């Protein structure tokens, strides 16, 4: 059996960037997009890194993504901004909008930046980690392609509202950070099950008739790479209600496309980014002292039998990131082959090249 494909985080970012350039994404947006995707790869969110290239390539070929968008600031106040992202690649344009929220928060204490004309914005946590690393509280959300039917309904009219909240780190403790889909799992986990030949867990997804299924092929049509079935909201009706409320903030508030007005796999989606400078409430040093105490109290609290460690939100991914940055990691071969196919399709690598050639340092 061939060797596992050992890669560095840096090399995966390089391959991601080059692939986006081959697809025709302009250099600045390709660089921002590669950073967004690489944050996910680094943190072990393997569904939303280099594994997404095939999805963007298809969206570009189908004309959903504008390769040379004119990202416009439509309206600005001291604490808010509305953008029109002109249907540019979501993982790149969302980064511009998030940076505006952070800039306003640093200047005026709070920054709310929302957008229309977006596309799939990747892992919601990429944006809040950036805010948290600059001692801001970050909140992010966006709808997603149509994946979910309302509770009691049969028609997919909703996305799964990926959302994230991150706080700055304490003096001694890690930043606490939630990053999740509002369905039981992200759609990317159905794709990963197909790549790995695994079954779905109960409660993840429904087939086209709305019945529970553990067969990923009944949820994703692999010939068209589209959703045949649907995803189940997390926590039943509460997850559904959360999806709706995040769609109001990130889709309806900025005047973006929602429901049947979304084009294909994400054309016209909205974004929501809120950044807060906590020093408008109280001194940051004081906050960090309390964050340390909060973190360690939970971390060191009594554990259930068989549990070795209690984790705070984002801690598992933080530990993976520290390890992957230092030691590299093993990239799944199915994902690597998808990336290689892109390079071959654009004639950017020898037709005999292997995944080992593509990811060679």
The site for ligand NAD (CB under 6 A) is made up of 45, 47-48, 120-125, 142, 144, 160, 162, 178-181, 185-186, 188-189, 311, 313-314, 316-317
Nearer to ligand NAD, 48 or 324 (CB): 48
Nearer to ligand NAD, 140 or 343 (CB): 140
CB-based contact 353:340 (threshold 8 Å)? yes
| Beta-ladder partners of 113 | 81, 273
Nearer to ligand NAD, 22 or 180 (CB): 180
To ligand NAD, the closest distance from the beta carbon of 344 in angstroms equals 27
- What is the rounded CA–CA span in Å between residue 302 and residue 295? 14
Q: Which residues, other chains included, contact 98 with Cβ-Cβ below 8 Å and sequence gap of 6+?
A: 113, 127, 130, 131, 138, 140, 271, 273, 275
Q: Extract the runs of DSSP E, i.e. beta strands, from the chain.
A: 6-7, 72-77, 80-84, 110-118, 137-141, 163-166, 177-180, 205-206, 220-221, 226-227, 230-231, 269-276, 329-330
Of 164, 157, 159, the closest CA to residue 131 belongs to 164
Nearer to ligand NAD, 65 or 358 (CB): 65
To ligand NAD, the closest distance from the beta carbon of 191 in angstroms equals 11
To ligand NAD, the closest distance from the beta carbon of 47 in angstroms equals 6
User: Per the structure block, which two tokens stand in for 42?
Assistant: 């680094």
Nearer to ligand NAD, 84 or 179 (CB): 179
To ligand NAD, the closest distance from the beta carbon of 3 in angstroms equals 28
To ligand NAD, the closest distance from the beta carbon of 44 in angstroms equals 9
- What is the rounded CA–CA span in Å between residue 293 and residue 295? 6
Nearer to ligand NAD, 135 or 142 (CB): 142
Q: In the chain, what is the greatest distance between 2 CA atoms, to the nearest angstrom?
A: 61
To ligand NAD, the closest distance from the beta carbon of 264 in angstroms equals 13
């Amino acid at each position: 059996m061939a060797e596992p494909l050992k890669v560095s985080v840096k090399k995966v970012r390089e391959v991601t960037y080059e692939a986006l350039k081959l697809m025709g994404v302009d250099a600045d947006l390709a660089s921002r997009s590669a950073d967004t995707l690489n944050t996910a790869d680094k943190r072990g969110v393997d569904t939303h890194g280099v594994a997404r290239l095939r999805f963007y390539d298809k969206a570009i070929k189908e004309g959903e993504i504008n390769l040379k968008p004119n990202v416009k600031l439509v309206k600005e106040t001291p604490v808010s901004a509305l953008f029109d992202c002109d249907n540019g690649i979501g993982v790149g344009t969302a980064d511009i909008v998030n940076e505006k929220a952070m800039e306003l928060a640093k200047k005026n204490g709070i920054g709310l930046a929302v957008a229309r004309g977006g596309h799939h914005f990747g892992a919601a946590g990429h944006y809040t980690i950036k805010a948290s690393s600059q001692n801001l509280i970050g909140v992010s959300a966006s709808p997603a392609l149509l994946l979910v039917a309302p509770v009691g309904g049969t028609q997919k009219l909703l996305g799964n509202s990926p959302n994230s909240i991150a706080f700055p780190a304490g003096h001694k403790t890690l930043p606490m950070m939630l990053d999740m889909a509002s369905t039981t799992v992200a759609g990317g986990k159905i794709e990963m099950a197909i790549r790995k030949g695994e079954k779905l867990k109960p409660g993840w997804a429904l087939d086209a008739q709305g019945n529970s299924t553990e067969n990923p092929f009944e949820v994703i049509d692999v010939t068209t790479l589209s959703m045949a079935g649907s995803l189940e909201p997390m926590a039943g009706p509460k997850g559904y209600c959360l999806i709706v409320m995040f769609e109001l903030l990130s889709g309806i508030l900025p005047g973006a496309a929602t429901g049947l007005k979304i084009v294909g796999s994400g054309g016209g989606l909205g974004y929501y980014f809120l950044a807060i400078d906590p020093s408008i409430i109280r001194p940051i040093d004081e906050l960090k002292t309390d964050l340390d105490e909060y973190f360690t109290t939970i971390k060191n609290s009594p554990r259930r039998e068989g549990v070795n460690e209690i984790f705070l939100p984002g801690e598992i991914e933080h530990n993976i990131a520290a390890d992957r940055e230092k030691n590299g990691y093993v990239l799944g071969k199915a994902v690597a082959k998808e990336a290689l196919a892109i390079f071959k399709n654009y004639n950017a690598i020898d037709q005999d090249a292997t995944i080992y050639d593509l990811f060679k340092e």
